Amino acid sequence: MYRLYDFLPSGNSYKVRLLLNQLEIPFEKVEVNVLTRETRTPEFLVKNPNGRIPVLEIGAGKFLAESNAILFYLSEGTDYLPEDSWEKAQVMQWLFFEQFSHEPNIATSRFWISILKKAEEYKDALQQKQKLGYAALEVMEKHLSNLDFFVADRYTIADISLYAYTHVAHEGGFDLTRFPAILAWLERVKTQPRHISIANT
């Protein structure tokens, strides 16, 4: 059985929980507290030398890190990843967009404001994060203005990946009411079969 090293508030971990649930794959969950640096112990660094969750243990000594790599691994050959090479490439494009342009700004703002509760301490850095986070949201809004989902006209891991931190962007100080296409897409994602919330253990 898969074992997921997880941290409940993490959107990156949530992506994996959500897909596992939608694929109806049973898994064991091991909570690793990022805040007390449990991801930096010698024991954990054997699993992921980069010291981050989520990590999926897929067999003896086989540990897979990076949330979007895990989504890719689990979704290949399923309805959640298109087979067509151009469609698959577009899914990959959005996964890299998410990790480079979206997550470092939107997830980090949420982490500082709502998880660490240190908005004042990070005030200056937050300004830059807000600017870049809104730029990422603009790119998404534009793309979704005439599409229901990010790629191939259907729900894929591109949607799962981008949903994880977008639907809690308000916890990072982002005002989503400016983005009607994103709001409508969030609702479509939420109504997919076997959807679970980020707080669902």
Applying CB under 8 A, which residues contact its own copies? 49-50, 58, 62, 64-70, 72-73, 76, 85-86, 88-90, 92-93, 95-97, 99-101, 103-104, 136, 139, 142-143
Element (H or E) spanning 30, and its range? strand 27-31
Structural contact between residues 192 and 22, judged by C-beta atoms closer than 8 angstroms: yes
Rounded least distance, CB 99 to its own copies, Å: 5
Find out whether 5 and 55 touch, Cβ atoms under 8 Å: yes
Q: CB of 91 within 8 A of CB of 158?
A: yes
Minimum Å gap between C-beta 137 and its own copies is: 12
Half-sphere exposure of 19 (CA within 13 A, CB side): 32
What is the bridge-based pairing of β-strands 27-31 and 2-6?
parallel
Three-class SS state of 147: coil
Give the nearest distance from C-beta 73 to its own copies in angstroms. 4
State in angstroms the smallest separation of the CB of 191 from its own copies: 26
State in angstroms the smallest separation of the CB of 49 from its own copies: 5
CB atoms within 10 A of CB 45: 12
Q: Burial of 13 by CB count in 10 Å (0-12 exposed, 13-18 middle, 19+ buried)? A: buried
User: For residue 104, what are its two tokens?
Assistant: 């470092």
What's the closest the beta carbon of residue 201 comes to its own copies, in angstroms? 25
Is 65 or 183 the residue whose CB approaches its own copies more closely? 65
Token pair recorded at residue 56: 């999926």
Q: Which of 140, 167, 139, 158 is nearest to 88 (CA)?
A: 158
100 vs 175 by CB, closer to its own copies: 100
